[in-house]
Amino acid sequence: MGGLVLVSEPVQGIGEILSRITQMFVFVALIVLLITVICFSIFSQNLCRPLKAMANAAKEFGHGNLKARVETSGDYTQEIDELAVAFNNMASSLEQSEYQRQEFVANVSHELKTPMTTIGGYVDGILDGTIPPERERKYLSLVSSEIKRLSRLVRSMLDVSRLQDQGIPPEKMVRFDVAECLGQVLITFEQKINDKHLDVAVNFPEYSVYAQGELDAITQVAYNLIDNAVKFCPPGGQLGLSLRESGSKVYVSISNTGDTIPPEELPLVFDRFHKIDKSRSLNRDGWGLGLYIVKTIICSHGEDISVTSRDGKTEFTFTLAGVNSL
């Protein structure tokens, strides 16, 4: 026998239950939202802290504080750490460039001031009668010598600037006999070599050795290095030139006996305006640009140059790209 059971509940009771459920849902949602906001705020602060530090460091850097850096921490994300390291590397590079610029300006100012003071003093002496007429020619010759030195300085700086900006034009790269180039340069120093009674030791292969490069620039390299060797070689000392091939490279070495370069000076010998003898007045012929120009030329060819100085012998060795003889 079938039947039907009816269950009834007052509508008011159901409404109260739904109201409680709604209130609980809203309460839980508000708590979750509050927790989310707090967590997001903390995360944002942790994320923004290194970015703010970088912004502050960049601001300090822009105001001249070249020591400004961003602290790196393992608490940051990998991306933030990488960004901080990149910023610090950039700052270090800019600081080094600024230091080199300031040093360059200071050195140029010093080098220009000395001859300009000399020229001004001699000219004023001639004009106000301090230098008698019979001695004017002597002092005008000194003025002419100082002007030529200034001209050489400007020309050297222009050459270096051109090489750094433009490099070696491909159309100027030619095949040349390295031994012939070195020999022609050596002949120009014959008088100075004889005056100092130097013993010249030449070690060249019996066959021709050819290299690829800008002939005029390589000639200047050889001239500067031989000039340096003759200058610092004592009377009766030995001047050495050697040439050899190894694989695809040609190695040229120019050496001289005499006082060696202090070990702490060796990394600096190719720096611009660097002089081993800090007293510039003892060497009026040099600017400290010769070896800097040499390295600039060699590097512009994509080659290397090195120096050793020990046991009474100083030797400069540079490489060139060898080419097969015809």
55-108 per-position pLDDT tens digit: 888 888 777 787 877 777 666 667 777 887 888 888 888 887 777 677 767 766
- Could you tell me if residue 124 is inside a domain? yes
Q: Verify that 182 and 264 share a domain, yes or no.
A: yes
Which of 288, 293, 297 minimizes the C-alpha distance to 319? 297
3-state secondary structure of 323: strand
Q: Given the structure tokens 């222009």, which residue do they identify?
A: 158
Q: What is the mean pLDDT of the chain?
A: 82
Q: Is the four-CA dihedral 185, 163, 160, 91 of positive or negative sign?
A: negative
3-state secondary structure of 130: coil
**What pLDDT is recorded for position 282?**
40
DSSP class of residue 209 equals -
Q: Verify that 147 and 189 share a domain, yes or no.
A: no
Q: Verify that 120 and 183 share a domain, yes or no.
A: no
3-state secondary structure of 175: strand
- Could you tell me if residue 189 is inside a domain? yes
Q: In this model, does residue 53 exceed pLDDT 70? A: yes
3-state secondary structure of 174: strand
Q: In this model, does residue 111 exceed pLDDT 70? A: no
Q: Verify that 157 and 184 share a domain, yes or no.
A: no
Rounded to whole angstroms, the Cα distance separating 195 from 198 reads 8
- N- to C-terminal Cα distance for the chain? 122
**What pLDDT is recorded for position 283?**
46
Flag the least confident range among 7-11, 54-58, 70-74, 309-313.
7-11
Q: Verify that 184 and 314 share a domain, yes or no.
A: yes
Range of the domain at 255: 170-280+288-323
Q: In this model, does residue 316 exceed pLDDT 90? A: yes
CA distances from 272 to 98, 114, 232, 275, 287 (A): 15, 18, 19, 9, 9
- Could you tell me if residue 254 is inside a domain? yes
Domain boundary, last residue among 166, 183, 209: 166
- Could you tell me if residue 34 is inside a domain? no
DSSP assignments along 211-259, one per residue:
EEE-HHHHHHHHHHHHHHHHHHSPTT-EEEEEEEEETTEEEEEEEEESS
Which of 67, 84, 66 minimizes the C-alpha distance to 75? 84
- Could you tell me if residue 248 is inside a domain? yes
Burial class (CB in 10 A: 0-12, 13-18, 19+), 165: exposed
Q: Verify that 314 and 203 share a domain, yes or no.
A: yes
Q: Are strands 174-177 and 249-257 parallel, antiparallel or unpaired?
A: unpaired
Domain boundary, last residue among 143, 166, 189: 166
Q: In this model, does residue 284 exceed pLDDT 90? A: no
3-state secondary structure of 274: coil
Write out pLDDT tens, residues 201-232. Answer: 999 999 999 999 999 889 989 988 999 899 99
Q: Percent of the chain beyond pLDDT 90?
A: 28
**What pLDDT is recorded for position 317?**
96
Q: How many CB atoms lie within 10 A of CB 239?
A: 22
- Could you tell me if residue 1 is inside a domain? no
Q: Verify that 231 and 310 share a domain, yes or no.
A: yes
Assign 281 a pLDDT band (cuts: 50, 70, 90): very low
Domain boundary, last residue among 146, 166, 186: 166
Write out pLDDT tens, residues 165-197. Answer: 677 788 888 999 999 999 999 998 999 999 999
Q: In this model, does residue 278 exceed pLDDT 50? A: no
- Could you tell me if residue 86 is inside a domain? no
